[in-house]
Amino acid sequence: MSPVNGDRGHLLTEQANPASERLDELATPELIALFCANDLAPQQAVAAAAPMLAAAVEAIADRLGRGGRLFYLGAGTSGRLGVLDAAECPPTFCTPPELVQGVLAGGPAALLRSSEGLEDLAEAGVSDLQARGFGSQDCLVGIAAGGTTPYVLGGLRHAKDLGALAIALACVPADQAPMPCDLDIRLLTGPELVTGSTRLKAGTATKMALNILSTAVMVRLGKVYGNRMVDVAVTNSKLEDRALRILRDLAGVPREEASGLLQRAGGSVKLALLMAKADLDADAARHHLDRHGPSLRAALAAATLDGAQGGAALSLEE
Catalytic machinery residues: 88, 119
Residue type, 206: T
- Angle at Cα 134 formed by Cα 136 and Cα 88, nearest 5°? 115
Helices 255-264, 269-278: axis angle to 10 degrees equals: 110
Query: If you write DSSP's letter for every residue of the chain in order, what string do you get?
Result: --TTTS--TTSGGGSPPGGGTTGGGS-HHHHHHHHHHHTTHHHHHHHHTHHHHHHHHHHHHHHHHTT--EEEEESHHHHHHHHHHHHHHHHHH---TTTEEEEETTGGGGGTS--GGGGG-HHHHHHHHHHTT--TT-EEEEE-TTS--HHHHHHHHHHHHHT-EEEEEESS-TTTS----SEEEE----S-SSTT-TTTHHHHHHHHHHHHHHHHHHHHTT--BTTB-TT----SHHHHHHHHHHHHHHH---HHHHHHHHHHTTT-HHHHHHHHHHT--HHHHHHHHHHH-S-HHHHHHHHHHHHHHHT-------
CA distance 176 to 183: 16
Sign of the CA dihedral running 122, 126, 128, 129: positive
Cis geometry, peptide bond prior to residue 29 (ω within 30 degrees of 0): no
Please count the residues of the chain: 318
